[in-house]
Amino acid sequence: MSTARTQSSPIEEAHVGGAGDVSPVARVVDVEGIPMSALVAEAAEPRAVIVALHGGAARAAYWDCPGHPELSMMREAVAHGFTVIAPDRPGYGSSRPHREELGAPARRVHLACRTVDALLGASPRGAGLFLWGHSVGSELTVRMAVENPGEEVLGMELSGTGREHHALAAGILGTRERYANARGVGELLWTPSELYPPDIVGGAAIAARTPDYEADVTAAWPTSDFPALAAQVRVPVHFTAAEHEKVWRNDAQALEDIAEIFSAAPTVTTYLHPGGGHNLSIGYAGPAYHRTVFEFVDDCIAQQETPAL
């Protein structure tokens, strides 16, 4: 049995920007003895439910930019008619004390799916679920799309990931044997700094400790797990690269390579978003990026509603 505890989100408590009825709410559900935390923003009659999975060393607040409601994907999504579930991924947030139990991919997928079910309960889901992953969160996103319990996944958006690291990242990112250059990683993630509100640069407002298993995730992702999993995805895919992405290649050939690995997807759309950096959703380019994805969700809903010939 799953239970839920509701409390105000940090932004709601601060009364920032007239949060009103669309202010995301922090919730915790018990899933098989593991407390799973999340931010939830509900539309009254949702056209679909977006499940948003944050990146590494961050928490669900990535999707509701602290102190800047005008940049919040979650608030904008509700205005567009979508409910948003943004869990703290397994090993983050309330589940951090259980992080050593969560290294197995199948366990994390199961826990994430059960978390979404527990948070939604009997609430309407509209046309179904749309999965949206950022950076390291793309790994769990793709795995959930492959699992697709109940065939209810409408489509998927990925950003801040790839198959090959940007040339600027060489020698900066860590490996299993070597720690990353922390200052260098910060520059990869947060420059040009003018792309973000000054109080967001560096990520302290959304920061969280990374569970150890993520070192294995990042090591296997670009050359092994990503291609193998992508080939099993059978829902429409939207892939966004930021213009100023410095962790992953974002050139035309890199985007073609991404599209090719989603060989079983009915459609694959790749897009280079202008004016954005790696942390696309909490920069000034965020609202325009979000609208691009919302339009794609609209297309996914329309495809589902169109009878097959």
pLDDT tens per residue, the chain (309 residues)?
333 333 333 333 333 333 345 899 999 999 999 999 999 999 999 999 999 999 999 999 999 999 999 999 999 999 999 999 999 999 999 999 999 999 999 999 999 999 999 999 999 999 999 999 999 999 999 999 999 978 899 999 999 999 999 998 978 886 555 556 677 899 999 999 999 999 999 999 999 999 999 999 999 999 999 999 999 999 999 999 999 999 999 999 999 999 999 999 999 999 999 999 999 999 999 999 999 999 999 999 999 887 655
Q: What's the pLDDT at 174?
A: 60
Q: What's the pLDDT at 237?
A: 98
Taking the model in full, what pTM does it have?
Answer: 0.92
- Exposure string (b/e) for 186-195, b if CB count within 10 Å is 16 or more? eebbbbeeeb
Q: What's the pLDDT at 305?
A: 80
Using one digit for the tens of pLDDT, what is the confidence trace for 184-223?
A: 899 999 999 999 999 999 999 999 999 999 999 999 999 9
Tokens representing 158?
A: 């990925």
Nearest Cα to 290, choosing from 77, 68, 138, 141? 77
Question: Which stretches does DSSP call E strand in the chain?
Answer: 4-8, 25-31, 34-41, 48-53, 82-87, 129-134, 153-159, 237-242, 268-273
H helix runs in 123-230, sequence order: 137-147, 182-190, 214-220, 226-230
Give Cβ neighbours of residue 123 (< 8 Å, ≥ 6 apart). 42, 46, 83
Q: What's the pLDDT at 170?
A: 78
Does residue 248 contact residue 270 with C-beta atoms inside 8 Å?
A: no
**SS3 of 247, please?**
coil
Beta bridge partners of 37: 28
Q: What's the pLDDT at 21?
A: 58
Q: What's the pLDDT at 176?
A: 55
Half-sphere exposure of 266 (CA within 13 A, CB side): 10
Does residue 249 contact residue 162 with C-beta atoms inside 8 Å?
A: yes
Order across the sheet with 25-31: list the strands: 4-8, 25-31, 34-41, 82-87, 48-53, 129-134, 153-159, 237-242, 268-273
Give me the domains of the chain, ranges plus CATH numbers. 4-305 (3.40.50.1820)
Nearest Cα to 86, choosing from 39, 130, 49, 23? 39
Q: What's the pLDDT at 40?
A: 98
